Amino acid sequence: MSCRIVVLISGSGSNLQALIEQLDAPAEIVGVIANRPQAYGLQRAAAAGIANECLDHQGFSSRETFDQALMARIDSYRPDLVVLAGFMRILTPQLVRHYHGRMLNIHPSLLPKYKGLHTHQRALEAGDSEHGATIHFVTEELDGGPLVVQGRVTVQPGDTAETLAARVQGVEHRLYPLAVNWFVQGRLRLSATGATLDGELIAASGLRMEDHS
Ligand code: NHR
Ligand code: GAR
């Protein structure tokens, strides 16, 4: 049976585009939801013939009421997997619990370093020689759910937050399809002790993309 996927976005949607182009059957992106009307990813979805909609968080008086409406819209697509792809709103515990074990995020740092925002600037200010992106299962703990896989880049002399972000995004566009394809194939799961690949527990530091592609 095909894996039904809903993708949540806030902006450009380049990770959505990578998923559209690199998902193996039996998967189908059945819906794309943005929380910002100007999100360019909505146009990418439309161009690919994927149902898409905006649920503007600014029309809601609280995080709870927005998330209740968001959950109803997500569930209308009957997803097996919900993918956060540059989604910029923190989600309430109730929503996150509802999708336990079936919600993934891509975070632009080598977690557990740099949870939250402005990750590229923070890696530069710390003088890190390596940076990257991490796929993890989403839990109530912000950017703290079980890690799946990381992709690394080398920080170059003269890098700015912008040049570094662009290099990390190049990695993201291979990393997210890899992890989502694992989930679709039934290879990636969330167990009581952590994420597993082919039934083997993934170490707390996550897998390395280089070992899997
Ligand atoms: N929600 C939960 N409960 N757990 C996670 O791990 C989540 C999550 C929601 C989003 C993505 C995350 C990232 O990869 C994500 C993971 C937004 C913020 C944030 O501070 C932080 C982390 C992430 C996404 N957002 C501000 C807020 O008040 C708004 C910022 C803005 O609109 O520009 O929600 O980085
Ligand atoms: C990606 O780099 C993603 O890692 C990051 O936003 C970008 C979205 O790009 N996510 C976050 O910062 C989450 N807070 P895209 O819209 O082109 O996929």
User: pLDDT tens for residues 152-162?
Assistant: 999 999 999 99
Pairing relation of β-strands 3-9 and 81-84?
parallel
Task: State the SS3 of 48-112.
Answer: CCCCEEECCHHHCCCHHHHHHHHHHHHHCCCCCEEEECCCCCCCCHHHHHHCCCCEEEEECCCCC
Tell which one of 15, 56, 88 to mutate to probe ligand 1, the residue whose CB is within 8 A of the most ligand atoms: 88
Across the chain, mean pLDDT equals: 98
CA–CA separation, 116 and 142 (whole Å) = 7
Residue 118 has pLDDT above 90, yes or no: yes
CA–CA separation, 62 and 83 (whole Å) = 23
Percent of the chain with pLDDT over 90: 99
Domain carrying residue 33: 3-211
Tell which one of 55, 105, 109 to mutate to probe ligand 1, the residue whose CB is within 8 A of the most ligand atoms: 105
Judged by its nearest atom, the ligand closest to the C-alpha of residue 35 is 1
Q: What is the CATH number of the domain that holds 38?
A: 3.40.50.170
CA–CA separation, 196 and 193 (whole Å) = 9
Q: Taking residues 2-13, what's their average pLDDT?
A: 98
Handedness of CA 95, 31, 145, 197 (dihedral sign): positive
Judged by its nearest atom, the ligand closest to the C-alpha of residue 176 is 2
SS3 content of the chain, % helix, strand, coil (to 5): 35, 25, 40
Residue 25 has pLDDT above 80, yes or no: no
Q: What are the angstrom distances between the C-alpha of 92 and each of 26, 62, 89, 110?
A: 30, 11, 9, 24
Percent of the chain with pLDDT over 70: 100
Task: Supply the pLDDT for residue 26.
Answer: 93
Pairing relation of β-strands 200-201 and 195-197?
antiparallel
The catalytic residues are 107
Q: What is the pLDDT of residues 134-179, one digit of tens each?
A: 999 999 999 999 999 999 999 999 999 999 999 999 999 999 999 9
Counting the structural domains of the chain, the total is 1
Task: Supply the pLDDT for residue 1.
Answer: 80
Read off the pTM.
0.98
- Say yes or no: CB of residue 138 within 6 Å of ligand 1: yes
Q: What is the pLDDT of residues 87-106, one digit of tens each?
A: 999 999 999 999 999 999 99
